[in-house]
Amino acid sequence: MKALRENFLYYLTVEKGLADNTVASYQFDLKSFILFLTQKGITDIKEVSRHDIMAYLLSLKKQNKSHATIARQMACLKSFFHFLLREKIINEDPTCHLETPKLAQLFPRVLSMEETEHLLNQPDSETVLGLRDKAMLELIYATGLRVSELVNLNVQDINMEMGFLRCIGKGAKERIVPIGSYAIDAVNRYLKKSRVKLVKRSKEEALFVNQHGKRLTRQGFWKILKGYAKQAKISINITPHTLRHSIATHLLENGADLRTVQEILGHADITTTQIYTHLTKTHLKEVYDHCHPRAK
């Protein structure tokens, strides 16, 4: 089964062109599923039945896995067995007619504009690392980049004079994103006063580097963000994606149209972007209830 899993992952990467993070998630999910089968004494993929898959999903539920995790696992298994059927390794697809669990529509948590400004002001711009952190926070908020897109930026990907950057998003899709003056100023100061002190070798292409002069990792940025969120006494559990959600909401609250926000965030489907309209409507209702003399 391990060989079949590797063939499937190769298919996802080469033929389907899925993003590395998606393939990594499927790899983890399949490893978990195969371990479950092994513990049940099933070593041949042809022996897997619909009942086995339902038992696996039930085991995830008993482990208090989230609806999102269970739905992702189901999507992974459907794709995996569809691949095996296409390759004529199995004769019947045990996931056929199994429904993916419906997810409750959970709106993402976002920062208010005041909280965002407070967070962005946390780095100490008098220090080398503070200048870098200020540039990263300003840039990710200005552009709505995913954390992987941020840390994968190279110096040549950003054009200060034109006020744009180039990034590679999900599915290796390239997009051009505008940058505001605050972010441009912060990145300029980082390049002139901080990066030159951090980089150890002249050939380093990464825009943002760690204290050893190497490209900063996703985990590294996450840790930095958590530290500043705690310093700023942000009440919600903040993640890099929180900033992405926040810029989308703030843009819509200030009059941006849905298509523009879709282009900036790099959403393939506008329905993904539409979730933020619900957030802005919630905000609108809160403002109305608070400000209108006859709201209550």
pLDDT score recorded for residue 284 = 47
For the chain, give the longest Cα–Cα distance: 69
CATH for 113-290?
Answer: 1.10.443.10
The active-site residue, picked from 67, 223, 241, 285, is 241
146 assigned to active site: yes
pLDDT tens-digit profile of 56-115? 988 888 888 877 788 888 889 999 999 999 999 999 898 887 765 554 445 567 888 899
DSSP lists the bridge partners of residue 159 as 164
82 assigned to active site: no
267 assigned to active site: yes
The active-site residue, picked from 82, 170, 214, 215, is 170
Fold adopted by 2-86: DNA polymerase; domain 1 (1.10.150)
DSSP lists the bridge partners of residue 176 as 166
The active-site residue, picked from 72, 132, 134, 146, is 146
Q: List Cα–Cα distances, 42 to 1, 62, 74, in angstroms.
A: 10, 21, 19
51 assigned to active site: no
Tally of CB atoms within 10 A around 139: 25
The active-site residue, picked from 26, 141, 228, 276, is 276
Cα 65 to the center of its chain, rounded Å: 19
pLDDT score recorded for residue 280 = 54
Strand order in the sheet with 164-168: 158-159, 164-168, 174-178
Burial of 142 (0-12, 13-18, 19+ CB in 10 A): buried
Tally of CB atoms within 10 A around 24: 12
The active-site residue, picked from 72, 244, 245, 250, is 244
Per DSSP, the three-state class of 294 is coil
Q: Counting every residue, how long is the chain? A: 296
Residue with tokens 């339902």: 54
175 assigned to active site: no
10 assigned to active site: no
207 and 157 Cβ atoms separated by less than 8 Å: yes
In the predicted model, what is the mean pLDDT of the chain?
Answer: 84
pLDDT score recorded for residue 159 = 93
Domains of the chain by residue range: 2-86, 113-290
Residue with tokens 């499927």: 26
98 and 78 Cβ atoms separated by less than 8 Å: yes
pLDDT score recorded for residue 232 = 93
How far apart are the C-alpha atoms of 71 and 174, rounded to whole Å?
A: 28
206 and 190 Cβ atoms separated by less than 8 Å: no
Q: Which of the residues in the chain have pLDDT under 50?
A: 103-105, 284, 287-288, 292
The active-site residue, picked from 132, 195, 250, 267, is 267
